Amino acid sequence: MVLNPTTLKKRTQLIVSLFIVLIFCWVLFFILNALTKDEGHQFSYSDAVQIEVPQKHLIHGIDVSHHNGNVPWNHLSELDLFDTVSLKFVFIKATEGRSLQDPNFEVNWQKAKQKGLIAGAYHFYIPTRDPIQQAKNFCKMVQLEEGDLPPVCDIEVTNQVNHQKLRKDIKAFLDYLSEHYHTKPILYTNVRMYSDLFKNEEFTDFPLWLASYESNTIVEADNLRFWQYSKQGKLEGNSKSWDYNVFLGDHSDFASMLIK
């Protein structure tokens, strides 16, 4: 069938119009995606630490252990992430399992406080070890006082322990610390373990510190307080990678977290 010139022209115009609409939709999608990518966290590159940091939030921190070696506390205390925003808090590894103690904990704890950083201590939890013995190891090592951050249970692996048993053991560990320090401990974990183990009412009373690096977004949780958004941060004159964190709240919210 041979199309007459008028019909051919109309079909050509229709095809061109549809193509223009498709291009417009494609451009609009990428614009909206860019605008909503970080859910308002306003990520921007920081020359000081050589990563993108969420500049919407003003209370930033770091976490350290003996794996970081000698921590440059003078540099950390003077570090400006962006504008006039500096590091405000630090979580320091204290213990692991039933008996291990971080050899740098006492020095790191003392230096952090000398530099005016608000400090918190964490325990690296081993799923195959008794939870109460682990809690006692931490309590023996860590003396908290007014103005410190609550103690932290760092759970990153299951070691093939049954989920039901692991939830029960973690709850026992957290309850022991709650009674000992008279405050609710913080639960640190990653997104996968949070979804598999801790996304239920049993753990909503415990402040959540979540590690999530895959995108500039974070899961929604009513008890979410801290976000470890990068483990690739840098420090001038230091070749190691550092974990960077942010508190998801204002100064009043942060103050309410501290031990009274």
Position 18 scores a pLDDT of 65
Buried b (16+ CB within 10 A) or exposed e, 182-195: ebbbbbbbbeebbe
Position 214 scores a pLDDT of 76
Cβ atoms of 190 and 211 within 8 Å: the answer is yes
Position 7 scores a pLDDT of 59
Position 120 scores a pLDDT of 98
Give average pLDDT by consecutive 10-residue segment, the chain, 260 residues: 56 64 56 48 86 90 94 89 88 98 97 96 98 98 97 96 96 98 97 93 95 80 95 85 94 96
Position 22 scores a pLDDT of 66
Tokens 């183990």 appear where?
A: 197
- Select from 1.10.10.10, 3.20.20.80, 1.25.40.10, 3.20.20.70 the CATH code of 43-257: 3.20.20.80
> Domain residues of the chain, as ranges?
10-39, 43-257
3-state secondary structure 153-186: EECCCCCCCCHHHHHHHHHHHHHHHHHHHCCCCE
Position 78 scores a pLDDT of 87
Q: What is the pTM of this model?
A: 0.83
Report the distance separating Cα 130 and Cα 175, nearest Å: 14
